[in-house]
Amino acid sequence: MKGRRFYKTVSVTGDLGIALDGRLVKTPGKVPLHLPLPALAQAVAAEWEAQGETIDPASMVMTRLANTAIDRVPAHRPAILAEMRDFAGSDLVCYRATEPDDLVARQSAAWDPVIDGAVAELGQPVAIWSGVMHRPQPAATLEAVSRWCAKLSDFEIAAFHALMTLTGSALIPMMLTKRAIAPGQAWAAAHVDEDFQIEFWGQDEEAGARRRRRHAEFDACCRFLLLAASN
C-alpha cells in the first residue's frame, strides 16, 4: 500500500543497516534491516532515496527481498530449498518444442547454454524432453541441486526464489548466480516461447505493461542476487 514519504534523509549505518532520518528501518517482523554486504546495503538505501512524495512499495523490490531474507528464509529454509529442488525437477529449459523449426532452434540457442552450465556445475546429467508432459529428472541430479542450493546464503535464496518464480526455472537463476549468463540472456531465455508468440500474434497494451513491470522486477532481483553473491 502506498503512503506519504515521512523522511528526508537516507543513510547506511556502520553495521550496514538502513536509517531514515537517523532511525533504523525494521522489517515487517520488527527486526532491524541489516544487509550482509556494503554494495547491497547501498542498493537498498537507494530504493528508499528514490521515493518521491509517495512511497510505492512495488518499486522497492530489493527492500522486499531483504525483508524476505531476514524474516522468512531462516524460518522456512528447508521448505524453500525443497521447492527450489522441485522446480529443477520440472524446469522450463528441459521441455522442448518439436515444431515449428524456428522455435525449436530458438529454444536450443537460449536453453542449451543453461543446461550445459548446470551439468558442469552439478556434475550430473540434466535430462531434456520433447513436449510438455512431466518426466522426472534423475534422482542424483536433484540431490546435486539440493546440495548446491543449500550452500546459498539467506539473501541469495530470497533473490533466487523470486527469479525462479519469474522465469519458471531453477537452472536459469543458478547460472545467474555463477555469472555464467548475463541478466539479459536470462530474461531472453525465460521468454523464448512468449517472444515467439508475440512475433506471431502481437501483444496488446495491457499485456505489454504487465511485461514491463515484470521485467523491472526481474532486473531488480538480478541485481540483488549478484550483489548478495559477490562474497
pLDDT for 165 beyond 60: yes
Task: Provide the pLDDT for residue 21.
Answer: 97
Q: Does residue 110 fall inside a structural domain?
A: yes
The verdict on 13 and 50 lying in the same domain is: yes
Which region holds residue 31: left if phi is over 0, alpha if psi is between -120 and 50, else beta? beta
CA distances from 5 to 41, 135, 217 (A): 20, 50, 22
Task: Provide the pLDDT for residue 169.
Answer: 97
Q: By residue range, what is the domain housing residue 10?
A: 3-57
Q: What is the DSSP string of the chain?
A: --EE---S-EEE-TTSBEEETTEE-B-TTS-B-B-SSHHHHHHHHHHHHT--SEE-GGG-HHHHHHHHHHHTHHHHHHHHHHHHHHHHHT-GGGEE----HHHHHHHHHHHHHHHHHHHHHHTS----EESSS--PPPHHHHHHHHHHHHTS-HHHHHHHHHHHHHHT-SHHHHHHHTTSS-HHHHHHHHTHHHHHHHHHH---HHHHHHHHHHHHHHHHHHHHHHHHTT-
The verdict on 138 and 223 lying in the same domain is: yes
Name the residue type at position 147: R
The verdict on 47 and 87 lying in the same domain is: no
The verdict on 103 and 41 lying in the same domain is: no
Q: Does residue 47 fall inside a structural domain?
A: yes
How does residue 224 score in pLDDT terms, banded at 50, 70 and 90? very high
Task: Provide the pLDDT for residue 59.
Answer: 94
Residue pLDDT, tens place only, 3-50 = 899 999 999 999 999 999 999 999 999 999 999 999 999 999 999 999
Domain count, the chain: 2
* CATH code (residue 158): 1.10.3580.10
The verdict on 111 and 52 lying in the same domain is: no
The verdict on 141 and 222 lying in the same domain is: yes
pLDDT for 1 beyond 70: no
Mean pLDDT over 147-164 rounds to 98
Task: Provide the pLDDT for residue 3.
Answer: 86
Tell me the pTM.
Answer: 0.95
Task: Provide the pLDDT for residue 230.
Answer: 63
Task: Provide the pLDDT for residue 131.
Answer: 84
